[in-house]
Amino acid sequence: MNSSMMIGGMDSSLYMDSTTARTLNRSRAAPSAKPKFVRFTNSTQTGRNVSKVRWLLDNSYIGVPDPYASEFFVSGSWSSVGDENDVGLWSLEVGPSAKEGEKDAKVTLITKAIVKGNVTDMSSLCGDRFCLCTSDGALYVYKCNKNRDEKFVSVTQAAASQLFTYRGQNSSATAVAVKDDIIVAAGEDGSIIECNSAGLGVIRRLERVDPLSISSACFVGRETVMTGNGGGQLKLWDLRSDSDVPVQILNPNVLMNNLYGASSICQHPSQTHAIIVGYQSGCMDLWDMRLGPDSDPVANLTSEGGALSEIYFHQINSDHFFSCAQSGQVCHWYPAERLSNPLQVPVEYSSDLNIEFLKKGLVFKEVHTSPFPINSMSLSRNDRIVVGSDSGVVFCTEIRV
Amino acid sequence: MVLKSHNFAFDFSGSQVVVTKPNSSELGQLALKHFADEPYMRNFIVSSAEVFVLAQKQFKSCYPDPVPQTTITALSQMYRGIILELVQNLKDVGDLETAALYSNLDFVWNFCEIIFLSSNPDLPVLPYLIDWVRINFDQSSKILPEVQQELPDLGQQCIDKVWKLIYTHVFHGRTREAAKLLPFVNPRPGNSHSNGVGTSASLKNKIEFMTELLEKKPRYNPRTGSFTDFESSWASWREECVNRLEQRVFYGNEQLTFICNVLCGNDEGFSEARTKNLLTWYEYLVMLINYRFPIIRPSALKGYARKVVSDFGLGDSLEPRDIILFHAMEYDIVNVLKEIQAVWNNPWYSTHFVDLIYAGGKFSEVTDVRIDYSSVPPLRTHFIIDYGTTIMEHKPIWQIGVPYFEALEEPLRKHLIGKCIERINPKTEMEAQKLVQIAGQFNLSSELSGICRKVAVDKLKCGQMQNALLWAIKAGDSSLTTHIVDQILFEGDCKIEASLLESLRNAIPCSDRLVFLSGFCDFRKLMDKKDYANAVGKLCQLIKEDMIPKRINHKIIQHLVTLHDKNVKFRANETTILMEFVHLRVGINKIEPADFTRLNMLLVCNRANEILTMFNNKTFKQ
């Protein structure tokens, strides 16, 4: 029996099902006793169902989160009348409030552009650019332009390419992943296409390689991409290889994730072989890619909310991660301060993943709740979160990890 | 989509409707161009839905008891906050007419809140009314900054303004605020506008007397105060006012005498008030109650209001909003909603307001007021359906309609949500997933399977057979699953990802074909691994269970033929099963002669081998 089985296996799991639920409930009842941290919150109505939000990459970031830094994010919408959707560029300005110890946050729409079809995924690129894919199967690169005062004023389309078509009909693109200047887009038809970000020239085309639709994609190495499909499988692709066959396939825990898609994949910032995957079932699995194709997840975590939309590790404090769900919850997950239940000690745990919550147990707090589905979130380097929902609201707040 | 009624209003689709409503000067002509997609309009819809969800949570947590009155009032104030935000946003975009319309809605909501939600039918209504006129008719925010600018030396014009403000405060019953302003009208020595030191000194005394009277006016706190205490302290305060007036304390100062007349509730003061800064009958009514009938209950309001209206000569020309107020005073919720629906033609108000009354359940126990509580639950249901459908019919915001239907009783809830999601046509898997989520949440199995089936058929058309299979299994549709599995078996070269099959195994009871496909894939997997012995074992199991469709027989034969030169040794019985399969089920004439020769050789060799082994064993034992 390999080490992952002990943790991830159905019987011996210490993080599964009821145990987890109990841990979670406890965390609600007795929130952690950290000193009170006054965060700013801002809710802004965009007027459109927000499908994606992403912070622009911040070139001026110097390593220490600045609570008063101005930041910019982009939003994409879906399901608008007439099938024309918005891509918005927004600024977040934070300043001290009249009340002592509090902050005022202002979110302003700088400009917006119209895009045909629903925005299905977005990703920020260097040089104030971002790319997005649509339900019409197109991939676009946009550039945010500054004026002489170094202020953003407009957004222009830098490149566009119709990537996904089948028998003359457009088929939906579903996910984009970015590594430096390379964009990988995946589609509902199971295709994976690698492009350069400059002109969207196709470098590699893996045509209909997944028999199911691909629902999420994430770079896990310079040339390797992990995709998740509608059946919850994870597949690792080597873009350098000539073969159309994935390097590795990770099958979901059938009992918990049967027939549910993998909606979001995130790689651990320092232990790059560890990935966390959010499923439509509401489960989150932590995988160790080194354990090989037939391995089980290292930990199978359940959340109380419905289908997970996105999941992200904190880039610096990587024992913390964040999730948002269709049930309207945005959660901050972090290791328990101390073991609250001795039964939780994973005695036989021997995976060499150095992840704190595997040892101590996991608790969470709700950062935000909405009665409506939350489709997307993004974490900035200044520890801000932006969240986009089907109610049309973009919600910004600050996090402390 | 335009709402049913023809007169105007909440048009989500964006067409402009202009309507003139008879007998309504203020609410009159309306040009409504509200798109639900305007951020401020969307904000209005979303925020109110959020409060609605909160109200339902409260209702559930308190059930079977009604939600406490303070909570209900707080929720009502949240709704009003949303209206006022909309008004501000409308002003910002320059739509002043509509802004005025919604500001009127707030005025009416506020009054209805007092009557139906916040006040107690057995206690004085006055404190609520004081708040109501303050919110709607207070001019301090306009005048005070002007006064502030001129300080310390106020010009005569400014002093007049301060007097006006003092009067308004007095009329509204906010005497303490009036007292605070009095020092501003006391001309200081040396002030160019004063008539001399003597006058100023005597005025100062008068002002002090008045300040004392104003500050002493008893206030009634409906939550903590005792009603009888209030009654007696009010009587003694009034007596003091009358004494001061009779003692001619304010003699010589027209303004203070007038105020004192009002405080005493004298006709003289009241009729003079109408010539001062008192503009509306609402304010007059509140003044009347303040200084003559401070202890009346909400149910008695109507009689006084009628009198005031007729004094104002408005009896025949009441505006729609006044009519609504009168219905409210009669506790006639049905007519209030009817009129509001006619004026605003938007189920927004009625839905949320009736829901609050329902949650408060206040009138179910009150017998001395004429409210027909039995009409509240059906009205609530009606308006929720109306509003929920209005929202759900607007494609981008259909999800915001869901919590409204969720608040209804079964089976209506399921039925409506089912009907509404049936009408949404998902174009992508993401859209389908959203519908699946809602259908799953409300156990709408037939709708859920309908959505999944539709996606499965779409995928089949795109040639994504395995994806179609996944959705067919999600739909729980065994015939479609069998159909797709057949396609995969007969047209798609039986290819299904072994790993995908893993995820599908759970759904196996769904279809016999899937069981076969699963077994056949295992067989192929073993063949690929060159684990022939186990592969044959798997195949024999499939044959024994009679799972193999006839059309697939030749494929099985093809696989068996490849074993002929692999030197595979069959286990006991396996040769017999395979021989029966070849001879009886497939039939020799359906197999290519060359294949049959090889197959026969394989089987005969194995049979011979078995006999030999058996023979050897027996010999050995002997």
Closest CA in chain B for residue A174:
B430
Contacts of B298 (CB under 8 A, 6+ apart): B114, B115, B119, B121, B125, B329, B369
Name the A residues in 329-368 with CB < 8 Å from any B CB. Answer: none
Give me the interface pTM, i.e. the ipTM: 0.86
Sheet containing strand A299-302, edge to edge, reads A262-267, A274-279, A283-288, A299-302
* CA distance to A163, A189, A204, A209, B528, per residue, from A243 (Å): 20, 18, 11, 10, 18
Closest CA in chain A for residue B45:
A391
- Residue in this structure with the two tokens 């997933």, named with its chain if needed: B433
Q: At B367, which helix (H) or strand (E)? A: none
Q: Chain A contact for B90, CB < 8 A?
A: no
> How high is the pLDDT of residue B484?
84
Closest CA in chain B for residue A135:
B428
The shortest C-alpha distance from A161 to chain B (Å) reads 20
> Taking CB atoms and an 8 Å limit, are A372 and B400 in contact across chains?
yes
A213 with B468: CB under 8 angstroms? no
> Taking CB atoms and an 8 Å limit, are B466 and A212 in contact across chains?
yes
Spans of all domains in chain B = 1-122+314-407, 123-296, 552-622
Pairs of CB atoms within 8 A across A/B: 136
Q: What does residue A291 show for φ and ψ, rounded to 5 degrees?
A: -75, -5
Longest dimension (CA), chain B: 148
- Per residue in A72-102, pLDDT tens? 999 999 987 778 899 999 999 998 888 777 8
pTM: 0.83
A229 with A235: CB under 8 angstroms? yes
- Coil, helix or strand at residue A245: coil
> How high is the pLDDT of residue A7?
30
Q: Chain B contact for A378, CB < 8 A?
A: no
- State the fold for domain A5-398: Methylamine Dehydrogenase; Chain H (2.130.10)
Tell me the pLDDT band of A1, cut-offs 50, 70 and 90: very low
A138-152, A261-275, B273-287 — which is least confidently predicted?
B273-287
Beta strand segments in A56-209, E: 71-78, 84-96, 103-116, 119-125, 129-134, 138-146, 152-162, 165-166, 169-170, 173-179, 182-187, 192-196, 202-206
> Taking CB atoms and an 8 Å limit, are A326 and B50 in contact across chains?
no
Count helices and strands in chain A by DSSP H and E runs: 4, 30
The shortest C-alpha distance from A292 to chain B (Å) reads 14
> Taking CB atoms and an 8 Å limit, are A254 and B505 in contact across chains?
yes
pLDDT at A344 > cutoff 70? no
Q: Chain B contact for A199, CB < 8 A?
A: no
* CA distance to B145, B151, B175, B196, B279, per residue, from B187 (Å): 19, 12, 21, 9, 28
Name the A residues in 61-80 with CB < 8 Å from any B CB. Answer: 78-80
For residues B315 and A321, which has the higher predicted lDDT (pLDDT)? A321
Spans of all domains in chain A = 5-398
> How high is the pLDDT of residue A26?
31
What residue ranges of chain B have pLDDT lower than 70? 1-37, 186-201, 225, 277-279, 362-372, 492-495, 497-500, 502-511, 619-622
> Taking CB atoms and an 8 Å limit, are B496 and A258 in contact across chains?
no
Nearest to A172 among B428, B497, B499 (CB): B428
Pairwise CA distance, residues B66 & B362, whole Å: 7
> Taking CB atoms and an 8 Å limit, are A45 and B46 in contact across chains?
yes
> How high is the pLDDT of residue A96?
85
In this structure, what token pair is assigned to residue B343? 């004026």
For residues A270 and B5, which has the higher predicted lDDT (pLDDT)? A270
> How high is the pLDDT of residue B197?
40
Pairwise CA distance, residues B582 & B588, whole Å: 7
Mutate to test the interface with B, among A46, A112, A248, A258 (most CBs of B within 10 A): A258
Q: Chain A contact for B572, CB < 8 A?
A: no
Residues from chain A that touch B499, judged by Cβ atoms under 8 A, are: 233, 249, 251
A288-292, A298-302, B153-157, B228-232 — which is least confidently predicted?
B153-157
- Coil, helix or strand at residue B478: helix
Return the bridge partners of A145, or none: A154
> Taking CB atoms and an 8 Å limit, are B506 and A370 in contact across chains?
no
In this structure, what token pair is assigned to residue B615? 């023979």
Average pLDDT over residues A125-133: 93
> Whole-number mean pLDDT of chain A?
83
Closest CA in chain B for residue A189:
B464
Tell me the pLDDT band of A67, cut-offs 50, 70 and 90: confident
Give percent above pLDDT 90 in chain A: 53
pLDDT at A324 > cutoff 90? yes
- Coil, helix or strand at residue A228: strand
Q: Chain A contact for B213, CB < 8 A?
A: no
> How high is the pLDDT of residue B25?
36
In this structure, what token pair is assigned to residue A78? 């879906």
A270 with A255: CB under 8 angstroms? no
> How high is the pLDDT of residue A25?
32
Average pLDDT over residues A97-115: 88
> Taking CB atoms and an 8 Å limit, are B396 and A189 in contact across chains?
no
Pairwise CA distance, residues B360 & B65, whole Å: 9
Among the listed residues B507, B322, B326, B362, the one whose alpha carbon sits nearest the alpha carbon of residue B67:
B362
Mutate to test the interface with A, among B57, B89, B429 (most CBs of A within 10 A): B429
